[in-house]
Amino acid sequence: MKKICAAIIIFSLVFFAAPEVLAFESKAVVLNQAPYKTFYPATFDNLVLDFNLIVIRLDEVKAMALKNLGGADYLRQIKYLKLWVDQGEPGFQGMGIDRELGNFSYSSGSDSWYLENLNLKIEDNFRFFVTVETYSLAQKTDTIQMQIPALLDQNQDGIFQAGDLGIFMASGNNGPTDKNLTNANTQVFSTSNIDNMGPKLVFLNLQDGDLINDSQFLIKGKVRDQGNNNLNLFQIIINDQEFDIIDYNLNTYDWQYRWQIPADGDYVLRLKAYDSLGNLGQSGPINIKVEKQFFSLENSEIEIDKTTILNTGLDPAKITILLKDIDSQPLAGRQIECLGENAIISKSGEKTGSDGSLVCEIRSTRAGIRKIEVKLGDNVLKTFSINVLDRRLAEAGINFGDLIKASGPAVYYYGADAKRYVFPAAKVYFSWYKDFSQVKTISDENLALIGIGGNATYRPGIKLIKITTDPKVYAVSQGGVLRWLESEELARGIFGDNWAVLVEDVADAFFTNYIEGEPIRQLSDYDPEQEKENSQTIDQDKGLL
């Protein structure tokens, strides 16, 4: 396997205490020369810069603009230049371990690489890394030599704009002010097409020494091939037993494996994979201890702080999970998933803390009712319905399930999908409501915010319907399903001797709102009371909840 090492530049930035000094000089930087190294096509996590940023008070990194004095550029060799901050074990580990802050953009005007809007708060000593990801089809060998340029603030306002150079802080303590800091050695980008590098494999939610107290665990991680080839074989090895991992995504590099744990004890886990060229990649081993506790739903607590939020994406509902075992002791290290469509969910897939707790936050930018499931393994512990309201409609006092109208006479049902449903005739309306006392009036502008979802249909179990051009009489079931009553005797047996007064005509134009279902052939085929129970609201009738 080719050894891909990286150019390393180590320096420290020391910010002096005097508040009037809003810049740092090169004497605050200790630069160690990085050795010569070689990078190859379609490879990533190639380290080219490594530095500690030391501050004496809380500050915030806003932007960085660096230069490459070598000939390699973003159109031919450099696909991405990435910035990271150290996370996990000390030193650069890259994908899945260190925290990725973003990709630099290239400025042709200043021939520099810049990354802005970092907004990264730092104190004491933070360690940063810069890496190169290379193109796969580069045809020219060239060099990389990173430089921290002397500060260039074109507007002299202390705020970074494209074309500026150096490191910019929220405090304005930017630099270096007096000279460039250049690595003496170069790194070479080689066009060699000999690929003998295997995939890189990472555990995301397990680390050496972790404790699991469950009978199953969803292991997650990252896998990506150096050389950008497909995977031929991907396995997790648990105490020397090999198990295939088939659930992985070559676009996002994510993988997962549900570990069914046979017994308590000590386990050693590692990963291995072969790419399509037969190159082997392996992870280091991690030691995991399993001590099971038996979960008790009765003793656990799962609560939500509110069930109505705004669709701004900034108004979270918080689900607090407190897991306990059959002895009411906290269950630590249990993996909880909070799942729902069209929702932004934080902390899902993470493990409960030492006190057995985890808090998931639910946000959304789309109006409607969101079903959120809280799961432990394959078991659904609790389901919540969260109303996500349009801010303007919320201010007007409108919620899902309301009857609404504007300046015109038409009345609509505001559904759980954030759409309004039309009553095509007064008779349909009165199958659901006895009067108009619940109708809320809103502005024409607010009504226009709500799209049409369709027509409401008769409430099941209330009326019988027919069309003028067909003598068949139908009962209505949930979802606008029509059930033909095959005989008058069945109609009388189900709806009573006065069944005929329940029959109402539906215009041919609206008959397409319904779906024809199975005929009613015996008394047990249709229960009006059960039908009414199943469709207490239009949301329920249309399956919007």
Query: What is the CATH number for 233?
Result: 2.60.40.650
Q: Which of 169, 189, 209 is the last residue of a domain?
A: 189
Regarding whether 149 and 18 lie in a shared domain, the answer is yes
pLDDT at 5: 37
Regarding whether 66 and 172 lie in a shared domain, the answer is yes
Distance of CA 231 to the CA centre of its chain: 25
Distance CA 420, CA 452 (A): 5
Q: Are strands 78-85 and 317-325 parallel, antiparallel or unpaired?
A: unpaired
The answer to whether residue 423 sits within a structural domain is yes
* pLDDT tier for residue 114 given thresholds of 50, 70 and 90: very high
Regarding whether 472 and 449 lie in a shared domain, the answer is no
CB 68 within 8 A of CB 78: yes
* pLDDT tier for residue 27 given thresholds of 50, 70 and 90: confident
Six token digits for residue 79: 């696909």
Please report, for the domain that includes residue 23, its CATH number. 2.60.40
The answer to whether residue 136 sits within a structural domain is yes
Regarding whether 434 and 469 lie in a shared domain, the answer is no
Regarding whether 350 and 310 lie in a shared domain, the answer is yes
The answer to whether residue 36 sits within a structural domain is yes
The answer to whether residue 7 sits within a structural domain is no
In this predicted model, what pLDDT tens digit does every residue of 420-448 receive, in sequence order?
999 999 999 999 999 999 999 999 999 99
By C-alpha distance, which of 187, 160, 172 is closest to 50?
187
- Report yes or no on whether pTM surpasses 0.75: no
The range of the structural domain enclosing residue 385 comes to 295-389
Regarding whether 169 and 32 lie in a shared domain, the answer is yes
The answer to whether residue 194 sits within a structural domain is no
Q: Is 389 exposed, middle or buried (0-12, 13-18, 19+ CB in 10 A)?
A: buried
- Count other C-beta atoms under 10 Å from residue 289's C-beta: 14
Those residues with Cβ within 8 angstroms of residue 175's Cβ, 6 or more apart along the chain or in another chain = 13, 23, 24, 25, 26, 28, 151, 166, 167
Sign, Cα dihedral of 342, 345, 351, 357: negative
The answer to whether residue 5 sits within a structural domain is no
Regarding whether 524 and 399 lie in a shared domain, the answer is no
Please report, as a single letter, which amino acid is at residue 267. Y
Distance CA 467, CA 515 (A): 14
The answer to whether residue 54 sits within a structural domain is yes
Indicate the SS3 state at residue 61: strand
The answer to whether residue 260 sits within a structural domain is yes
Q: Kindly report the CA angle at 292 between 288 and 297, in degrees rounded to 5?
A: 130
Q: Which of 389, 411, 438 is the last residue of a domain?
A: 389
Distance CA 99, CA 85 (A): 5
Regarding whether 43 and 83 lie in a shared domain, the answer is yes
Regarding whether 233 and 115 lie in a shared domain, the answer is no
Asked if the model's pLDDT at residue 2 lies above 70, the reply is no
Distance CA 149, CA 68 (A): 10
pLDDT at 430: 96
Regarding whether 399 and 353 lie in a shared domain, the answer is no
Distance CA 78, CA 43 (A): 10
Asked if the model's pLDDT at residue 264 lies above 60, the reply is yes
pLDDT at 431: 96
Regarding whether 210 and 228 lie in a shared domain, the answer is yes
Q: Kindly report the CA angle at 116 between 152 and 12, in degrees rounded to 5?
A: 65
Distance CA 433, CA 439 (A): 10
Distance CA 63, CA 115 (A): 6
Distance of CA 430 to the CA centre of its chain: 43
Regarding whether 252 and 204 lie in a shared domain, the answer is yes
Q: Tally the domains of the chain.
A: 5
Q: Which of 346, 361, 389 is the last residue of a domain?
A: 389
CB 316 within 8 A of CB 359: no
* pLDDT tier for residue 22 given thresholds of 50, 70 and 90: low
